[in-house]
Every structure is written in C-alpha cells, then in structure tokens.
Amino acid sequence: MILPMNVSQENFNKALKEFQKAIGKEWVFNKQEDLDLYRDAYSPQWDDSDEPIPSLALAPKNTEEVQKIVKIANVYKIPLFPISTGKNLGYGSSAPQRRGDVVVDLKRMNKIIEVDDKRNFCIVEPGVSYFDLYEYVENNNLNVFLDIPDPGWGSPVGNALDHGWGYSYGMYRDHFGSHCGMEVVLANGEILRTGMGALPGAKTFAENKYGYGPYVDGLFAQSNFGIVTKMGFWMMPKPEYYLLLSLTMKTREDLIPAVSILNYLEDSFIIGWPLYRSPLNPPHGKPMNKELEGYLTSKGGKPDLNKIQNYALKNDIPYWQIDIPIYGCKDTCYANMNYIKERFKVISGAKITKVQEFALPLTLEQKSQLKHKVSLGIPNMEIFWLSTRGDVLEPSDGHVWFSPIIPRDGKELLKCQDVYIDVFHSLGMKSPITPFAHPRSWMYRAFCFMLAFNNSRTDKEHNAKLREAYRTMVKVAAQNGWGDYRAAPTFQDDVMGAYSYNNHILRRFSEQLKDCIDPNGILAPGRGGIWPKNAREGRFANAKKDGFKKGQK
C-alpha cells in the first residue's frame, strides 16, 4: 500500500474515515483499480519505485466539500493534489506531484454558472469541459465562443491555471490572460474571491479582473497556493464571416520576413492565429521521402541545409506553409485578404490562396468541413488523436512535452532549430528536430518551439536517456534565453531551477509565500518547483536519482 510521505498508517486510516464522512464513502477511492486511473499514462517514470501514484483520490461535489477536505488534511498533514478533468497529457495527466499525495478530483464540480452573450463572459467550475461549455452555448443559441485548446475534453479552469493556449485572436488565446475572477479555497479552508468578486454581491465578477487592491490571481496559476473552485472567462463574440487563407513560400530564410509581417497583422487584429508548418514534413502516418530523410544526417550526422533546400526547389515543394484566418463581416474579410496579399509581395515567390470561407452561424455540414474547427471554438479530439495514439509509424507509450518559449522572430526560430539539432547530436540521439521544424504560434507575442520525448512502459533505460536529454535541453535552452513554460512533475524542479535570476529570487519569494499561506505544506508540495519548508530536501530528487546534477542549485 502506498502512503503519503511522512504520514503514518494510523493517521492515514483516521483521515480516510474522516474524508468518507465528509464527502461520502462512494467518493473516496482507495482501491487499486481506481487509483490506477490516476497514474500518468505517459509517465517517464513508469513502474519506477518513485513513480507519482496517489494513495487516495477524493471527488468533492462543491466548494464546501473542498473546504472539509482541506481542513482534515491540515489535521493529519495529508498532502493534497487538485486536478480539474485530469487530461493534462504530456505534462503529468491526472497524477500527483509526488508518490502518495492524495488527488482531489474536481470533475464532479461541473456547473456552468453563467454565460452572457451580451457582455461576453462565462463563469464555470473546474469540472466543466470545453465540450460541456460548447454544448451549453449551442443548445442555448448563444452568440459567443470560448477559445479552446486541443483536446476538447480538457477543463477551461485547469488549462488556464497551467497557462494553456488556443486558436483564435491573441487576446483570447492566452487562457489565463483572458480569465477574469476566481474563487479559491486556501490552505486553511477559507474561501477567497479575487478581483471584483471580493465585493459581496458584485455584478462584474467576470468582467473587471482587477477590483481594488493587489491583483493576486497570478499566485494561483502553476503554483500550490490554493484550490480554485470557480473562474470567469472573457468569451469571443461569434463573427459574421470566416475566411481562411494559405501562404506558401519557397525558401527556409523566407520565414524571417514572413514572421515580421504576420506579427504586424496579428497585433493589429487583422488576422487570428497563424498556423506555421512545412510541407516537407510528411502527413501523419506517412513516411518521409528517403532522399530527403538522408539529407537530415548527410553532413557529418547533421542536416545539409543546401541539399534540403535544393530538394524542395527541385520538387516544387514549398518550404513553409502558413494558414491565416480572418474574422469579421464579409466585406472586411475580403478587404483584409487583399491587404495581406499586398504585404507579402515583398517575398519573392510567396503565394496566397483562399482555402475556405463561411458565413456564420454554421450548419452541421459546414462544421464538419472546417479545416481548423478550433479557430471557431469547436472542440474535438482530431489533433489529439493524430499527435498521440493515432495513426503513427512508430507507436510509443506516450510522450513528455518540452515546451520552451522563444522570441516571435524568424531568425531566432532558425537558430533554435540549429541549437536543438546540435544537442541531440552531442547526446548521440536521433534529432526529432529538422531544419523545417515549425514553431507553435499559440502563444500571443511569442513562439513555443516544443518537441515530444517518447517514453516507454517497458524500457527503463530508454526512459533514463529521455530524462537526461530533457534536462540537458532545459539547461541549453536557458543558456540561450529560452525557458520552458510548462512541464511534467518529473521536470518541474529542473525548469524552476532555470529561472535563476538573482540567486533564484522567484523561487525563494514563492516559497516564502508558501510558508505563510500553507504552513503545513498540504497543497501540492513541489508543484511548479515550489516546496514547503517541511519538504524542501526533496527538491531535485528525480534529477539526483538519475545522477544529473548539472546546473542545479
């Protein structure tokens, strides 16, 4: 039986009985078949002695039951780990931060409290999924949508708290930035409401995020300072018209001026989310051309840029393709399309074509025809299927995302490609990055240049190499001024350790707050690299186990 760290069997049994009394025996899960559902399916520590598996899972139905759980946990010093829908695959899924921590599963708290399509906001509980909210909006014929990530089974609350992103206009793609107001159960069991919510009877909970006094909402994102039980979000009004363009360019260096032009267009709200990619990458489930694949290692084990470029030109394959959405009325969309075409005339050989266009509201048939459903707030599982357990050439047991933020600059992106390729070459590993690897453009005003490390449920040596490579990438990225924005529990200490300005003042400040807010250290110890005073010796435990000590402090 797994026990929480530093908790005796006797105290655990007492707490178990009190949890059952507080929320109902049927909502306290301690059987192995239930706890297995809270394992990280993609864990890079699978079946290791320290794999983060919970000792218990609790499923409260409302804020009052969350309060009861927290108060019991304080008595017995039981560490808790809250999750929303638990779909954070690639970043830890529904597993706790440490082995033995008790999962507080908030999926039963699934009320849609309010949606207003005149003032364009919603207020939801953490168990509400993007599918739930979309269905509610459509069934009630409301003229708004919430920006969504992939996949649609995730939680707006959970995704925002982990700094997730989406696919429409920049101001809505930043899910934490577009939240407004929250309700939080603190470590002592008290309820805090932020912003205007601190005013009893406030009518603008989800409209003005600042209220009066300090703006404290940010303390509850990627941290362990409270359990969020309600959040408001700004929603985007549904446009009258949607137009999707495709930009293709011939050379690798064309990306440099293209990014500058797209930055201007996006920051001027002329376009929405630009999707960068390269036609040199084969479609999912298809092998890369053998000639092109050979050029990826033909220069001393590294790519030959000239041969790759010549291959693209010889075969008339665009080096880059960028999808560009436009929203508005039909006349505005067409005017913006013509303006975009004028702007890209400075890039020789650049072509812009119209992919599809629709007047809204969409019919069911039109929704099925949309190339990027997420751009209009329609949740689905298509991209999730393609990038995880779907039609892939080399099935793995999942993956861990490495997700550093880099400048929204074409030159920096090309440099980042080269640096990543060099790192994998030095490690003697096949690089998952190519000279035509594309940036993820979800982040507003920055790029995320992410990659997936495939893991295994049977090959522990492979997982050890994965962990070494990940930690090396964290260090090398930091040396270049790039920082991981999100990480699985295994690597959160490493990532926080890279944010080391002024002798790690961010971490030291956060842990001072932790000691004041949560003196018993019961809320997600170690989440985000923030440890309570009674557990700080555990910092870098995963890295030390692997013998990886470089750059630690």
Structure tokens at 104: 């507080």
Single-letter amino acid, residue 433: I
* Extended beta strands in 360-476, E state: 399-402, 404-406, 447-448, 451-454
Pick from 249, 250, 255, 251: nearest CA to 412:
255
What distance separates the 2 farthest-apart alpha carbons in the chain?
74
Structure tokens at 459: 């090959």
Q: Which helix (H) or strand (E) element contains residue 231? A: strand 227-234
Pick from 257, 288, 253, 275: nearest CA to 355:
275
Q: Residue 361 and residue 344: Cα distance in Å, rounded?
A: 31
Catalytic residue among 38, 42, 76, 91: 91
Q: Residue 122 and residue 172: Cα distance in Å, rounded?
A: 13
Our answer to whether residue 471 is catalytic in this structure is no
Our answer to whether residue 91 is catalytic in this structure is yes
What count of other Cβ atoms lies within 10 Å of the Cβ of residue 286? 10
**Which letter does DSSP use for residue 462 in this model?**
H
Torsions phi, psi for 380 (to 5 deg):
-160, 180
* Extended beta strands in 384-458, E state: 399-402, 404-406, 447-448, 451-454
ω into residue 274 within 30 of 0, thus cis?
no
Structure tokens at 229: 């039980």
Classify the C-alpha dihedral 390-391-395-398 as positive or negative: negative
Torsions phi, psi for 529 (to 5 deg):
75, 15
Three-class secondary structure of residue 221 per DSSP: coil
Catalytic residue among 252, 408, 471, 486: 486
Classify the C-alpha dihedral 532-535-537-541 as positive or negative: negative
* Extended beta strands in 117-176, E state: 121-124, 144-145
Catalytic residue among 485, 507, 527, 539: 485
ω into residue 151 within 30 of 0, thus cis?
yes
Our answer to whether residue 470 is catalytic in this structure is no
Measured between alpha carbons, how far is residue 314 from residues 192, 286, 306, 438, 481 in Å?
A: 63, 21, 12, 21, 37
Q: Which residues contact 516 (CB under 8 A, 6 or more apart)?
A: none
Q: Which helix (H) or strand (E) element contains residue 322? A: strand 320-328
Which active-site residues does the annotation give?
91, 485-486
